[in-house]
Amino acid sequence: MELISYDEYKKMGEKEIIKKILSSKNKIIIINKKLSPDEEIKLIEQAMNYTTGKEFKGIEIASITKQKKSSFGALTKIISLFLKKEEGITLIGNANVIKKIKQSKEGAILKI
């Protein structure tokens, strides 16, 4: 596993992240932030550029958010829009090794 900060991820870009995953079959990258849907889809698009269907089948990806419980509900959500970035992580792995990253309400399970 390789932990990458979100800032480092932004500097590298989606192409370099996919190349990193390609460089090692067993590579699992953990980014210390939940990627936005736009970032996720760009990653998927980039993965498809390199997917051959055999040597590299693509990626497994899961973005997991830690939901903060608050008695102020909607107010907390409004405040969080203007303050700190959403907590969470993003897992990205080589689909040749990881069969599935199964999402659940509690987190994620890696099936290898």
**Measured between alpha carbons, how far is 82 from 6 in angstroms, rounded to an integer?**
19
Q: Which stretch binds another protein (CB under 8 A): 1-9, 16-24, 33-41, 66-74?
A: 33-41
**Measured between alpha carbons, how far is 57 from 51 in angstroms, rounded to an integer?**
5
**Nearer residue to another protein within complex by CB, 5 or 36:** 36
Minimum CB distance to another protein, residue 101 (Å): 7
Among 77, 103, 107, 112, binds another protein (CB under 8 A): 103
State the sign of the Cα–Cα–Cα–Cα dihedral 52, 25, 93, 32: negative
- What is the footprint of another protein within residues 40-99 (CB under 8 A)? 40-41, 44-45, 47-49, 51-54, 57-63, 81-82, 85, 95
Cα first-last separation, the chain? 14
Contact assessment for residue 108 and residue 64, using Cβ atoms and an 8 Å cutoff: yes
Q: Tell me which amino acid residue 109 is.
A: I
Residues lying near another protein in the complex (CB under 8 A) are found at 36-38, 40-41, 44-45, 47-49, 51-54, 57-63, 81-82, 85, 95, 101-104
